[in-house]
Copies of this chain bind each other. A is one copy, B any other.
Amino acid sequence: MPSARYGSRPTMKDVAARAGVGLKTVSRVVNGEPGVTPETEARVRSAIDALGFRRNDSARILRKGRTASIGLVLEDLADPFYSPLSRAVEEVARANGSLLFAGSSAEVPEREQELALALCARRVDGLVIVPASDDHRYLEPEMAAGIATVFVDRPAGKIDADVVLTDNAGGAREAVAHLIAHGHRRIAFIGDRPHIHTAGERLRGYREAMADAGLPVAPDWVSMGPTTPDHVRAELARLLGGTEPVTAIFSGNNRVTVTAVRVLAEHVRPVALVGFDDFELADLLRPGVTVIAQDPARLGRTAAELLFRRLDGVSEAPRRVELPGTLIARGSGEIPPSLAP
């Protein structure tokens, strides 16, 4: 058992006193700086061990300026889409000697701001943000003060900043063109709420692909709203019912796709489905689910690497990096249009 009282820890001063040396000498030993005789060093080390000393990095940070920590603001720590992204950011932070603060905005703009500013108050060196808000002017003073910031998955709002994202419109175009190539003309889009950037971009890609093929889009084929199972189920019932049901669905994200798979499994008539975002086991379902896969690990890695380049002093204009989506055909997107009932 160490001799320290519960809740109080030995400091460099204590080590110096016990070793009979100056404070700076202890600092030199702890930080592996040169210029200490082996004999002195040994005395210091044994004092460190006897006292159970460990350097207080908070104090060090205060003095040095850089905190060797970065912040990650996600939409939801528990969303599997962000798991590889988080992990990639962590790996890059680790490689750069930084620790990672992580938190979720729960898709609430105020919470994103609260969390980002709390991280700034801790003086993280930089921030990787999956935006929930569409106005990031609140970050301007922080960025001007030197906190590097990179947005990922969605662009920043009302400020000019680095962003790394998937080519959402392009991926959506490819998805819809794929359905058209398989004979569909009546194709619905079910996406997230319209104020979400990715949802808007995917809708744009859908419309462009339809226009490119000279196909009309009936207003009620587009459904933008919450991605809760209940809402998606209701929308699917509407789209697949009536006298002129759609023959194919383009689902705008992961959550929607999973619900669509459940509903279509119970549906009498086969309906084609292409989803945005890949997910585990998509290949094991019957039929396998055709998707536009993003690469969340690469998104995270690219964003974090850009962040650390900024921290190293690279100060070119803000960049926008777009990564391509990849169509993976597995069966559900290759179902031909079935005759109307």
Contact surface of A with B, Cβ cutoff 8 Å: 1-2, 4, 6-9, 52, 54-59, 61-62, 67, 69, 76-80, 83-84, 86-87, 90, 94, 99-104, 117-123, 140-142, 144-146, 258, 261-262, 265, 279-281, 284-286, 297
Contact = CB atoms under 8 A, between A and B. Distances in A.
A87 B83 CA distance: 11
Mostly helix, strand, loop or mixed at chain A's interface?
Answer: mixed
Given A54-B142, A55-B121, A90-B103, 5 more contacts: A54-B120, A56-B121, A80-B83, A99-B103, A258-B280
25 contacts: A1-B140, A1-B144, A2-B141, A2-B144, A6-B146, A8-B146, A9-B146, A52-B144, A55-B121, A57-B121, A57-B123, A58-B58, A58-B67, A58-B123, A76-B87, A77-B90, A78-B297, A83-B83, A87-B104, A90-B102, A99-B118, A101-B101, A261-B284, A262-B284, A284-B285
Q: Which 8 A-B pairs have the closest CB atoms?
A: A78-B87, A7-B146, A52-B141, A77-B87, A57-B121, A102-B102, A78-B83, A9-B145
A58 B61 contact: yes
Nearest to A119: B99
Contact of A281 (B121, B141, B281): B281
A43 to B, nearest CB: 20
Contacts of A121: 54-57
A258 B285 CA distance: 12
Contacts of A258: 280-281
Nearest to A142: B54
A62 B146 CA distance: 22
B90 A86 contact: no
B122 A99 contact: yes
Contact of A284 (B120, B141, B146, B265): B265
A322 to B, nearest CB: 23
A92 B249 CA distance: 39
A76 to B, nearest CB: 7
A203 to B, nearest CB: 26
Contacts of A118: 57, 99
A222 B92 CA distance: 39
B83 A145 contact: no
Contacts of A8: 145-146
Nearest to A79: B83
A61 B118 CA distance: 13
Given A6-B145, A52-B145, A104-B87, A58 B280 contact: no
A80 B58 CA distance: 32
A142 B67 CA distance: 21
A78 B81 CA distance: 9
Contacts of A7: 145-146
Contacts of A77: 83, 86-87, 90
A94 B104 CA distance: 10
Nearest to A87: B78
B140 A2 contact: yes
B104 A101 contact: no
Contacts of A94: 103
